[in-house]
């Protein structure tokens, strides 16, 4: 009778470790998280919405930033020309290049 709770606990721990391993494999780095947050702030909560120069300028004024015009255009294309996650990766690439 004492074997059943022990077996149940072993199975539970095994399933928990599989879950932890699968979640650990899908971790994203801090730079990606920051880029996603920036996209959400600029695009207005949704990284899939269309971004205009006005939205970026509004973001700049809210956060007292002064982005380069070339960088601003690249950011708009990174967001608008790609789906959300591809745009995030493209933005990170552009930011590293500038």
What is the sign of the dihedral through the CA atoms of 73, 76, 81 and 83? Answer: positive
Is the per-residue pLDDT at 17 higher than 60? no
Closest CA to 50 of 81, 26, 94, 16: 81
Contact (Cβ atoms closer than 8 angstroms) between residue 88 and residue 30: no
Residue at 11 is within a domain: no
Output the pLDDT for position 70.
Answer: 74
> Average pLDDT of 63-83?
71
Residue at 1 is within a domain: no
Closest CA to 51 of 64, 66, 41: 41
Is the per-residue pLDDT at 74 higher than 70? yes
Residue at 13 is within a domain: no
13 token code pair: 């721990």
Residue at 14 is within a domain: no
Rg (CA), the chain: 21
Our count of domains for the chain comes to 1
Residue at 52 is within a domain: yes
Look up the pTM and report it. 0.39
| Domain of 76, in residue numbers | 30-97
């Amino acid at each position: 009778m004492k074997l059943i709770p022990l077996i149940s606990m072993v199975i539970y721990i095994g399933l928990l470790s599989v879950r932890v391993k699968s979640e650990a494999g899908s971790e994203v780095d801090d730079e990606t998280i920051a880029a996603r947050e920036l996209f959400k702030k600029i695009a207005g909560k949704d990284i899939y919405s269309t971004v205009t120069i006005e939205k970026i300028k509004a973001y700049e004024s809210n956060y007292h930033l002064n982005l380069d015009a070339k960088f601003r255009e690249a950011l708009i294309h990174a967001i608008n020309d790609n789906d959300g996650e591809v745009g995030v990766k493209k933005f990170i690439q552009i930011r590293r290049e500038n």
